[in-house]
Amino acid sequence: MPGRQSLLFRFPELLSVVLLLAVDMLWSAYIGIAFRDYGNILVADAVLLAMWAFYGISGRSRRLSEMGYYGALWISFSAIGAILTYLAAYMRAPLYDTQFSELDRAIGFSWLAWFELTRANIVLDTLLRLAYHSLIVQILVSIILFAHAERTSRNRELFWTAVIALVITSALSDVFPAAGTFYHFNIELARAVHLPHLLNLLAGTQAGFSFDDMQGIVTFPSYHAAMAIIFMYVHRGQRVLFPLITALNALMLLSTPTHGGHYLVDIIAGCIVALVSIALLRYAVNDLSRTKASVFLSPRGIGASPTSSL
């Protein structure tokens, strides 16, 4: 039994991607939405998985093998996660922009004032824009750094917390959909590139989407805010890099209202989602460790190798 478990859970990240893909396929077939133009994603996955297999099986470079593995996982997860958020938006619930704007006002935050302040300062606006668009770069750099340092556990933490956070975010965005601040305040609508897809999904008037122009359509909670906290968490304990990562992601949090079109409550909710995701993962890992110890020390488990951890 331990041997069978070790085969099943040797690559749990792949299993999670397959399960999310199955959910997407069944859900999209049920409601009649199609997603196309995913050839480039398949090619990139094939190349990275081949890199993972070649360097892993040959033993030439464990680091390059890990880079290929997590690179393929993140490309697949990004595409599958985007589909999940689109499917959640198709539930056609009423928009909560007015309520979110009122909540911002209740806690003393004026989105329009913050927008005008940042737009008036060219240096600040540029820094915030760069920070907001650093998400993909941070993922890529984190994969490479953790693989090079042979800290596989950190690559696992980054991937799993991101997966958990996306599932929670998609569920909440389904219940509390919003179009965002650009739409609500009718300002800089050109920045709201997600609006056509979101409004079509909410109206049920578009049945097909291309991966070439899919956008991040979630307003509440902010996934950017969740990832900012997650990046800080997975880079903890690194004497030189951690302060830089913290500063960059603090800027990303500040950039999310103006460059992501988010309410302040979106950012607060995104931070809470990140903390909950981290706590859930830590609980799952600790629970799995206790289970493995129990199996390993039991009469049947003596001498058997414990299964690999997340």
Q: Kindly give the interhelix angle for 122-132 and 111-120, rounded to the nearest 10 degrees.
A: 110
pLDDT tens per residue across span 40-60:
999 999 999 999 999 999 999
Per-residue pLDDT band at 291 (split at 50, 70, 90):
low
Rounded to whole angstroms, the Cα distance separating 304 from 287 reads 19
Amino acid identity, residue 173?
Answer: S
pLDDT tens per residue across span 297-308:
444 443 333 333
Q: What pLDDT does residue 2 have?
A: 41
Rounded to whole angstroms, the Cα distance separating 307 from 79 reads 30
Q: What pLDDT does residue 90 have?
A: 84
Prediction pTM value: 0.88
Supply 11's token pair: 């690559």
Supply 140's token pair: 């890529």
pLDDT surpasses 70 at 1 = no
pLDDT surpasses 70 at 19 = yes
Per the CB < 8 A criterion, the answer to whether 20 and 80 are in contact is yes
Rounded to whole angstroms, the Cα distance separating 45 from 224 reads 24
- Which residue has tokens 């696992």? 156
Q: What pLDDT does residue 306 have?
A: 31
Among 171-185, 204-218, 240-254, 283-297, the range scoring the smallest mean pLDDT is: 283-297
Rounded to whole angstroms, the Cα distance separating 182 from 84 reads 23
Rounded to whole angstroms, the Cα distance separating 19 from 84 reads 12
Rounded to whole angstroms, the Cα distance separating 90 from 77 reads 20
pLDDT surpasses 90 at 201 = no
Rounded to whole angstroms, the Cα distance separating 277 from 271 reads 10
Query: Taking residues 111-127, what's their average pLDDT?
Result: 95
Distances in whole angstroms, Cα of residue 184 to Cα of each of 18, 41, 152, 177:
37, 34, 43, 13
Q: What pLDDT does residue 289 have?
A: 64
Supply 33's token pair: 């939405």
Query: Taking residues 119-146, what's their average pLDDT?
Result: 95
Rounded to whole angstroms, the Cα distance separating 21 from 77 reads 9
Q: What pLDDT does residue 3 have?
A: 41
Query: Taking residues 76-93, what's their average pLDDT?
Result: 89
Supply 293's token pair: 């110890």
pLDDT surpasses 80 at 274 = yes
Q: What pLDDT does residue 310 have?
A: 41
DSSP state of 36: E
Q: What pLDDT does residue 148 have?
A: 94
Contacts of 120 (CB under 8 A, 6+ apart): none
Q: What pLDDT does residue 88 have?
A: 87
Among 6-15, 143-152, 167-176, the range scoring the smallest mean pLDDT is: 6-15
Tell me the percentage of the chain whose pLDDT exceeds 70: 89
Q: What pLDDT does residue 199 have?
A: 87
Among 45-59, 144-158, 198-212, the range scoring the smallest mean pLDDT is: 198-212
User: What is the DSSP pairing of strand 208-210 with strand 34-36?
Assistant: parallel
